[in-house]
Amino acid sequence: MSIISGNYLCGMKKCLLFLYLLLSAASVSAQPDTTQQVISGRQNSPRQQQKPYVILISADGFRYDYADKYNATTLKTLRAQGVEAESMLPSFPSKTFPNHYTIVTGMYPATHGLINNYFYDPNRKESYTLRDRDKVEDGSWYGGVPLWVLAEQQQMLTASYFWVGSEAPIQGVWPTYYYKYNEKTAFEDRVKTVVSWLKLPEEKRPHLITLYLSEVDYAGHVFGPNAPETAAAVHVLDENIRKLTEAVAATGLPVNYIFVSDHGMTEIDRDHTLPLPVAVDTAKFIVSGGEMVVELHAKNKRDIRPTYRRLKKEADGYRVYRKRNMPRHLHYGAKEDAYKRLGDILLLTEVPTVFNFSGRRPSPATHGFDPCTVKDMHATFYAWGPSFKKGIRIPSFRNTEVYPLVAELLGLRYTHKIDGTKKLVKEVLP
């Protein structure tokens, strides 16, 4: 009996062990890769070792007025020691991927190619989406020369604790140190790593560090920009910025900070959303985008004109454009469309109206609207550190201006054409 029960138990133990191994193997394969990726064999050139350091921080969805609205005391103190912009204008559409990539390339979304978080590429006949790791890590989707690529090409090391594009070899180049995106990584771990990078020997120490934080955007979408949960997310972020800046100050290095966001947040009318117009024949058009920007790609160019005319006649609650007559100030038309990824016909809504094709009730708040007409879309820009003017307030400017600023701070040359100018550089550097 005991043998039987022993065998039985033994069999059950084996079974449990097998189940445990199976489950842990499954959970391991489902876990994101949290290890630091390091490109070996690189060093700062002796010339670059003399340069200052830049930490470029992005708090996703940190609307231009959040620091004051929610009394973010650390950020208010830090910006008072350096530069505070009235706001920073995102590029259209005011979404995460296009704007993070604009900030690091100085180009409009249609020019650098990342026209939205999700989009269809008619030449490739496939879609890019931020949820598809293979696409996110495929450098062939990304145009322009991101700041870390510019730096590495000039023998200056860089590091990224997340940034759109940093996980892909763009022109064959990754940052020397980077991570695959995992929104669950605790802020404390990000801070520890940033500080550890600054403690590396000079030839291995990155001069440009990017840091990305998503919590404020998440709270804004789910609870709305006026909710106590969003206030709480701003306070947590503010406290973490305090910890980061204190730990970095202890290194004694000349570190410049640029604190930005990609866009703002506004409440939408989630009870009266727009369906796909009946004039759009999905046998003839590939429909991409949604919410405030719908792109229609004609399978046969002959179908553009009649559909455009019908949409113009029937449009109710949205505006209809052909790519070539998009409003100029959006910089999202045929002229900028370097990768031919914009739709042949575009349907745009205005706050608080959005298209919704999913059948699910949308979140109470979002972003993506025209930043020139919707102030709630405006982003944040604060900068402080040894290289900046002290205690100045500047008017709003476009986020294409950040690239020339970082290049100037780090003494990096570029000759390729971008959309940013040197105006911000002149305003904020002595």
Binder of residue 130, out of Zn ion, ligand AMP, none (CB less than 5 to 8 A by kind):
ligand AMP
Q: Is 262 in the site for Zn ion (CB under 5 A)?
A: yes
Which residue is closest to ligand AMP by CB? 96
Under 8 Å between Cβ of 251 and 199: yes
* 8-67: contacts with Zn ion (CB under 5 A): 60-61
> Residue ranges of the alpha helices (H) in 141-226?
147-153, 187-198, 215-223
Q: Which of 214, 251, 363, 396 binds ligand AMP (CB under 6 A)?
A: 214
Angstrom distance (rounded) from CA 390 to CA 40: 38
Instruction: Write the CA distances from 395 to 58, 88, 235, 288, 334, integer angstroms.
Output: 20, 9, 25, 35, 30
Q: Is 376 in the site for Zn ion (CB under 5 A)?
A: no
Contact letters (x/-) for Zn ion, 87-116, by CB under 5 A?
---------x--------------------
Residues with Cβ within 8 Å of 342's Cβ and at least 6 positions away in sequence, in order, are 110, 115, 295, 323, 326, 332, 333, 334
Angstrom distance (rounded) from CA 425 to CA 430: 9
Number of Cβ atoms within 10 Å of the Cβ of 429: 16
Angstrom distance (rounded) from CA 238 to CA 75: 6
Angstrom distance (rounded) from CA 181 to CA 164: 9
Q: Which residue has the tokens 């189940």?
A: 19
Angstrom distance (rounded) from CA 291 to CA 274: 9
CB of 231 to Zn ion, least distance (A): 17
Phi, psi of 268 (to 5 degrees): -120, 165
Q: Which of 84, 215, 217, 337 binds Zn ion (CB under 5 A)?
A: 217
Binder of residue 384, out of Zn ion, ligand AMP, none (CB less than 5 to 8 A by kind):
none
* 162-181: contacts with ligand AMP (CB under 6 A): 162, 164, 181
262 vs 401, which CB is nearer to Zn ion?
A: 262
* 279-308: contacts with Zn ion (CB under 5 A): none
Q: Is 217 in the site for ligand AMP (CB under 6 A)?
A: yes
CB of 322 to ligand AMP, least distance (A): 26
Angstrom distance (rounded) from CA 313 to CA 307: 10
Instruction: Write the CA distances from 296 to 90, 228, 276, 279, integer angstroms.
Output: 23, 39, 11, 11
CB of 136 to ligand AMP, least distance (A): 5
Angstrom distance (rounded) from CA 71 to CA 60: 18
Q: Which of 43, 117, 153, 363 binds ligand AMP (CB under 6 A)?
A: 117
Binder of residue 214, out of Zn ion, ligand AMP, none (CB less than 5 to 8 A by kind):
ligand AMP
| Total H helices, total E strands in the chain | 13, 19
44 vs 96, which CB is nearer to ligand AMP?
A: 96
Which residue is closest to Zn ion by CB? 96
Angstrom distance (rounded) from CA 85 to CA 214: 21
State the burial class of residue 167 (Cβ atoms within 10 Å of its Cβ: 0-12, 13-18, 19+): buried
99 vs 307, which CB is nearer to ligand AMP?
A: 99
Q: Which of 126, 132, 183, 281 binds ligand AMP (CB under 6 A)?
A: 183
Under 8 Å between Cβ of 53 and 207: yes
164 vs 351, which CB is nearer to ligand AMP?
A: 164
230 assigned to active site: no
Contact letters (x/-) for ligand AMP, 121-160, by CB under 6 A?
---------x-----x------------------------
Catalytic residue selected from 34, 35, 77, 96: 96
* 41-60: contacts with ligand AMP (CB under 6 A): 60
CB of 108 to Zn ion, least distance (A): 17
96 vs 256, which CB is nearer to Zn ion?
A: 96
Residues in contact with ligand AMP by the rule CB under 6 A: 60, 95-96, 117, 130, 136, 162, 164, 181, 183, 214, 217
Residues in contact with Zn ion by the rule CB under 5 A: 60-61, 96, 217, 262
Residues forming the active site: 96
